[in-house]
Amino acid sequence: MNTAAKRPLTLRDVSDACGVSEMTVSRVLRNRGDVSEATRSKVLAAAKELGYVPNQIAGSLASQRVNLVAVIIPSLSNMVFPEVLNGINQVLEDTPLQPVVGVTDYLPEKEERVLYEMLSWRPSGVIIAGLEHSDATRAMLSNAGIPVVEIMDTDGKPVDAMVGISHRRAGREMAAAILKEGYEHIGFMGTKMPLDHRARKRFEGFTEGLAKAGIEIEDRAFYSGGSALAKGREMTQEMLERSPDLDFLYYSNDMIGAGGLLYLLDQGVDIPGQIGLAGFNGVELLQGLPRQLATMDACRIEIGQAAAKIILNQTMDTPDPDLPNQVTLTPTLSFGDTLRRRRR
Amino acid sequence: MNTAAKRPLTLRDVSDACGVSEMTVSRVLRNRGDVSEATRSKVLAAAKELGYVPNQIAGSLASQRVNLVAVIIPSLSNMVFPEVLNGINQVLEDTPLQPVVGVTDYLPEKEERVLYEMLSWRPSGVIIAGLEHSDATRAMLSNAGIPVVEIMDTDGKPVDAMVGISHRRAGREMAAAILKEGYEHIGFMGTKMPLDHRARKRFEGFTEGLAKAGIEIEDRAFYSGGSALAKGREMTQEMLERSPDLDFLYYSNDMIGAGGLLYLLDQGVDIPGQIGLAGFNGVELLQGLPRQLATMDACRIEIGQAAAKIILNQTMDTPDPDLPNQVTLTPTLSFGDTLRRRRR
DNA sequence: TTGAAAGCGCTAACAC
DNA sequence: GTGTTAGCGCTTTCAA
């Protein structure tokens, strides 16, 4: 094993070390073409002995093939996105493709920068969260000449492929479920994030759903920053002081919902009798609360898997033309212990 | 804007479009050397018009410079690691360096694979979690000829630079604090992860700390998989049924600690009078629980920042030789509401 | 089964 | 200020 490599080793070094042409060394290292078992093992031994690590930069330039998949997401703190990544990883695990993650912080300009940066590495595909992008971003995506999958959301028109759920519908269905249980005085709490289009669409769907029954949200509040659990507590307290007649609270995510739940249990409020609660996402994290919060699963893993499969399919020599490239998954509503009202 | 690029554009295309040599176009696009304002704007206009995206693969090969920093961590689900990433991002944000993340799932073989994969892109530096690696991994790290920062842990000898906390000491200090409050019958709960060396070291430090006072852990339990909150609940219940005399429970992470806390509050146990509790990590996530869990901050953001600064410094033309490359941060103990025993 | 030549798209180094 | 030349370290292609 080489102990002090200042200059990284090249194929040339391996070639010299074992007396086999660079070309053949290259073939051995990539398992390409027929190489006699004798030379093969000679080369492998030399490469290992030297501690040779191939230079993918040179390799990719020569072969015009890059085994990277750009994955662009708004955040890593949200738990939702790491789970999507897990789905992607699962599918790409035993393939030559490798995901490379970029984070946008929900900022369109940063999304643009990150995408540009990643495209300059000429990846084999792009998986990007959301359907709303700047014109420049959309242009880059459609001109890149590689498969593009927009994920998480299906309320809109994709550049190429699309995998996700309808957040608008999710909001509507939650509204319907709440009304069906007999709740009528509804408050909403969410993040103050004009650029979180999925949260916005859920909210819109929700108000639509209520409107069909002639009902309006009676109070609402938005937060930004800080611990979601703590915010859920605070906001719930404030809202109920302001609007004591509310009998249902819909939270835009499970974490603030959990904060609200803990607060109300502290206060000895009867849940779901006096007040019902629901969140969104179905984060496994929260199993283990004193009561299970009603929520709607966002199909994160499945989304990641389906997106990765679409990219993978396109990189194959003979892509399956039947693999759908518009996938709408259906989130399931779990009632938990906070939505089924005991009849009065 | 080009609308149907099958073949990606090259510098050549831009050069042709604006009648300026490739070399000058390259200079403009990289803000290198003196270029007259006239040609400059001509080139920029042409590049934008065509939608040209530079090919970093070719660029890096030619310049022998790659602005990537390999970041290798065990997991993305642990929240701890995304926070470290945030610290790294903050520092690298306005530099040419770009982090690229690889995940090992706590598996040494996978760590080896991921590192090999990343090194083959010839990054400018490596930030890798932990000090325990396979021989092959260590060899690759020391032969790579680039700065390497091992993070999170400082109980051991690094290949090159190191930034973290002493988990052994963290364990010892927690033991001391607990004893000082007068607790004597102590149980431990943690993850069943022989490869999580930091958790192991904390545990070792903890038992050492107790041993100095002639005290031994009276019960212990380990879990794997599932929702940590739920596991904390279950395990706490089981442990107290098995060992009803315990007066303190030390959890290897805040999430299971929170589960235990919620369970005990449900049961109406007096905390911290009858039973005291502590976790580890200081996850902001949990602010908002009915009681604040005692914990120890793992300095995640700071670790990320310091590590990135070390890499950044090394990539500069004239690195500051005084920047320390062994940084041991000191975690702070927060007592919360679950460790200060009311005197009996 | 193996090797030699050419070139991937860009930039360092040097001319002009 | 701008252009020319010669590679970077591989793989493709074709010849042996």
- Are A219 and A187 contacting, i.e. CB atoms less than 8 angstroms apart? yes
What is the residue-averaged pLDDT of chain A? 94
> With an 8 Å Cβ cutoff, are B56 and A85 in contact?
no
pLDDT one-digit tens code per residue, B154-180:
999 999 999 999 999 999 999 999 999
A192 Cβ within 7 A of any nucleic strand D atom: no
State the nearest residue by CA to the C1' of D1: B35
> With an 8 Å Cβ cutoff, are A3 and B143 in contact?
yes
What confidence score (pLDDT) does residue A187 get? Answer: 98
A-chain residues within 8 Å CB-CB of B92?
none
B208 Cβ within 7 A of any nucleic strand C atom: no
Smallest Cβ–Cβ distance between A1 and the set B5, B85, B139 belongs to B139
B23 Cβ within 7 A of any nucleic strand D atom: yes
What confidence score (pLDDT) does residue A79 get? Answer: 87
β pairing state of B295-296 and B333-334: antiparallel
What confidence score (pLDDT) does residue B3 get? Answer: 44
Nearest-5° Cα angle at B250, B341 to B298: 100
- Asked whether the predicted pLDDT for residue A227 surpasses 80, the reply is yes
Report pTM. 0.95
β pairing state of B186-191 and A326-328: unpaired
Residue A342 binned pLDDT confidence (cut-offs 50, 70, 90): low
B29 Cβ within 7 A of any nucleic strand C atom: yes
pLDDT one-digit tens code per residue, A275-296:
999 999 978 888 899 999 999 9
pLDDT one-digit tens code per residue, B175-217:
999 999 999 999 999 999 899 999 999 999 999 999 999 999 9
Smallest Cβ–Cβ distance between A76 and the set B2, B85, B145 belongs to B85
Q: How far is the CA of A33 from the C1' of D15 (A)?
A: 16
Query: What structural domains does chain B harbor?
Result: 11-54 (1.10.260.40), 68-165+300-328 (3.40.50.2300), 167-296 (3.40.50.2300)
Q: B284-322 b/e with 16+ CB inside 10 Å = b?
A: bbbbbbebbbbbbbbbbbbbbbbbbbbbbbbbeeeeeee
User: How far from chain centre, in Å, is Cα B92?
Assistant: 15
Residue B227 binned pLDDT confidence (cut-offs 50, 70, 90): confident
- Asked whether the predicted pLDDT for residue A2 surpasses 50, the reply is no
Q: Which percentage of chain A shows pLDDT scores above 70?
A: 98
B61 Cβ within 7 A of any nucleic strand D atom: yes
pLDDT one-digit tens code per residue, A300-328:
999 999 999 999 999 998 999 999 999 99
pLDDT one-digit tens code per residue, B22-74:
999 999 999 998 999 999 999 999 999 999 999 999 999 999 999 999 999 99
pLDDT one-digit tens code per residue, B282-301:
888 888 999 999 999 999 99
User: HEC profile for chain B?
Assistant: CCCCCCCCCCHHHHHHHHCCCHHHHHHHHHCCCCCCHHHHHHHHHHHHHHCCCCCHHHHHHHHCCCCEEEEEECCCCCCHHHHHHHHHHHHHCCCCCEEEEEECCCCHHHHHHHHHHHHCCCCCEEEEECCCCCHHHHHHHHHCCCCEEEEEECCCCCCCEEEEECHHHHHHHHHHHHHHCCCCCEEEEEECCCCCHHHHHHHHHHHHHHHHCCCCCCEEEEECCCCHHHHHHHHHHHHHHHCCCCCEEEECCHHHHHHHHHHHHHCCCCCCCCCEEECCECCHHHCCCCCCCEEEECCHHHHHHHHHHHHHHHHCCCCCCCCCCEEECCCCEECCCCCCCCCC
B-chain residues within 8 Å CB-CB of A79?
79
B5 Cβ within 7 A of any nucleic strand C atom: no
Q: Which percentage of chain A shows pLDDT scores above 90?
A: 91
What confidence score (pLDDT) does residue A7 get? Answer: 85
Smallest Cβ–Cβ distance between B121 and the set A57, A122, A288 belongs to A57
Gap between the Cα atoms of A108 and A72, Å rounded:
12
Smallest CA–C1' separation from A60: which nucleotide?
A: D10
Residue A277 burial (C-beta neighbours within 10 Å; 0-12, 13-18, 19+)? buried
B-chain residues within 8 Å CB-CB of A7?
145
Mean pLDDT of A150-156: 98
Q: Which percentage of chain B shows pLDDT scores above 70?
A: 98
- Asked whether the predicted pLDDT for residue B79 surpasses 60, the reply is yes
β pairing state of A248-251 and A295-296: unpaired
> With an 8 Å Cβ cutoff, are B230 and A288 in contact?
yes
The CA R_g of chain A, rounded to the nearest whole Å, is: 26
- Asked whether the predicted pLDDT for residue A130 surpasses 50, the reply is yes
Residue A340 binned pLDDT confidence (cut-offs 50, 70, 90): confident
Structure tokens, B204: 């070792």
What confidence score (pLDDT) does residue B2 get? Answer: 43
Residue B230 binned pLDDT confidence (cut-offs 50, 70, 90): very high
What is the residue-averaged pLDDT of chain B? 94
Query: Is B107's Cβ below 8 Å from some Cβ in A?
Result: no
Query: Is A290's Cβ below 8 Å from some Cβ in B?
Result: yes
pLDDT one-digit tens code per residue, A51-105:
999 999 999 999 999 999 999 999 998 889 999 999 999 999 999 999 999 999 9
Query: Is A301's Cβ below 8 Å from some Cβ in B?
Result: no
Residue A274 backbone phi and psi in degrees, to 5: -75, -45
- Asked whether the predicted pLDDT for residue B340 surpasses 90, the reply is no
- Are B187 and B219 contacting, i.e. CB atoms less than 8 angstroms apart? yes
What confidence score (pLDDT) does residue A319 get? Answer: 92
- Residue in the block written with tokens 């030390």: B250
Residue A247 binned pLDDT confidence (cut-offs 50, 70, 90): very high
Q: Which residue of A has its CA nearest to B67?
A: A117
What confidence score (pLDDT) does residue A3 get? Answer: 44
- Asked whether the predicted pLDDT for residue B4 surpasses 70, the reply is no
Least confident stretch, A75-79, A254-258, B8-12, B39-43? A75-79
CA distance B227 to chain A (A): 5
